[in-house]
Chains A and B, each alone.
Chain A
Amino acid sequence: MRLVVERPGMFTTIQDGGRWGFARWGVPVSGPMDRWSARLANRLVGNPDASAVLELTLVGPRLRVERECAVAITGAEFDVHVGTRAVRSPWSGGVSAGSTIAFGARHTGARAYVSVGGSFAVPSVLGSRSTEVRAPFAGMAGRALRAGDEIPLGESPSLARVVEGDGFRAWWDAASRGAHRTLRVMATEPATAAFETLCATPFVVSTRSDRMGCRLEGTASWGAIPGGLPSAPTTLGAVQLPPGGSPILLMADHPTTGGYVQIAVLCRADRQIAGQLAPGDRIQFVPVSRDEARSAHLARERALTALAPEVLE
């Protein structure tokens, strides 16, 4: 049984918990840009957190399921037609065999996640089903979905495990709103004057942003930016400062190493917000202490568990 792609959307890929252990050969971690929402989508249909989901970007796909299954849609808010029902994501519920899931208008956020009970039975490559677009490999042949693709569905757990739609709506709102577009960052050590400048400057997300990095435009006075550094390891959420002065916030597909100076790192709790940034969004960086970052992370984890408990393998 398969999920058939009738219309692919703008950039829809298969992502799972990510690919660890191969960065010394230059293989990026990948995985969902908004991992929190992908985990929620999995929990709502009874899948373990790291199961493969679809990540769609700005414009969603039209999909058809060949068997009855549990489906959850999380992340960015879209109007969606599920079979004959008009719903607004986040949403989860049972979908009958032959039904289509058609994405319409987008309201907030940039990326939505579609999980199916039992997940997708695409091959695991280097320990992950996440799409690596540059090498390319895994996911759907290392590329974004195309019309006509048929994604094999995994063994389905009981449909009874699905958490139905309305119950988590208020929780989702509470967990997702409020902190929008303020990104909390820690300075790299030792802290630089550039970190102060980063936190004192409003930025706009550039259209040249992608899954590797969120490119930021602003009118910062950086002073001298160090260049010609030997390439060094990078990390998810690091803010690189190229000599041109336009910072890059490193995202899920970021290269494992880089030659630009790194001035800040996003706290774990705000990765969800960063993963939902769209071109044109305005953001403000604010400093956060290590203790505050940890508390914020634990609060995000509690919010997730309040929405849906973790499903163990």
Chain B
Amino acid sequence: MKKFLLFLLVLVMSVSIFAKTQVVFWHYWDGENGRKLDSLVKDFNSVHPDIEVKAVFIPGSDLMTKIQTSVLSGQTPDMAISDIISVPLVIDTGKVIDLMPFVKRDKYDLSDFYESTLVYGKVGGKLFTIPVSSSNLALFWNKDLFKKAGLDPERPPRTWDELVQYGKTIKEKTGKFGYELYLDGGEGTTWQWQIFLWQAGGEFLDPNKGYRTATFNSKAAVKALQFWVDLTNTYKISPIASWGLFSRGEAAMVMDGSWMTQFFPAQVDFELGSAIFPYPSDGKPATNMGGEQIFIFDTSKEREEACWQFIQWFTSTKVQVDWDKATGFIPVKQSVAKDPSYNAYIKNTNRLLLPFIEAQQYAHARPPIKEYSQVSDIVARAIISAVYKRGTPQEVLNDAAKQVNALLGKE
């Protein structure tokens, strides 16, 4: 009898456990970011006794192929994140749900998000993804090399002309390179160059034509690419070499991501500065944005609701402040960037991050199209061709535009 009661108890308990809505959440945050996510998920689960979120780590390089196969086999997780660049492919599955009804029902405040972060999820009047983390690019400089060259180590260049001047001085006085460009090709090259393009007043693809026409061969684009050619070939202050000279003290300045404010200090043996990236005197500041967005797969009403509860909680200003403090991600919401406790924390712990937070208001989004990776590779190839003097900037960009228009016109 006793045994039977015990069995009954176990049965009742297990039923009550199963009464919880269990949802599976795929992500690729590892290291410190992964640990923080796990602890946040635990917090969420403890205040939501009826929901159990299970965070499952998938390596970043596998996530998209995993999503691909899960969609094909009909065994998707309940929610997942992806890199912003992959969002158009995720939406293309037709298996992620429109969040607009939830947003309207709960009066979820979208206007608090930086506009450029919402570009990816919005399709027509629908909203498929919500930003959860961001990163962007700015200037890092080597204060020791600045000192050696007789420059004020606390004053970074603010314009392209100053960047060139500083670079020349550094080359003359120290023999090191002034500014390191990313010339290893692929998206690494393209997304850095896009910043120069936007600063010069250009656009990458035409936003008025659904991003299906190349505009990266405009006058502004030629100006931006000519600047790269001048840096490497005319002033010779940027080396044509594999990436990584800055961290070895071989180049005095570099454009790199907000995440490097955590890695550089451990890697380098010189004093670092960071600043908004210099822009042309007749141009405007700009930066490029990376990051992740979260989305819900089409499962059941109950589970979708549970996922939405989690997203609402995760993207609340309070949790996002906590998240950004621990991870070093750049805020996706203005209320986080303005939050006094967040700012005080960053000032005390990671001053290098401040220019990145400030730059977020100038962040542009890369075009939210499915073919972006291929377009990016075509443009990177053109950029490097120009730097290698295989053609003038106008020629190589026109050629790339022709290829991209043919690719995007297919549909």
A, B: real partners: no
Q: Please report B residues at the A interface, Cβ cutoff 8 Å.
A: none
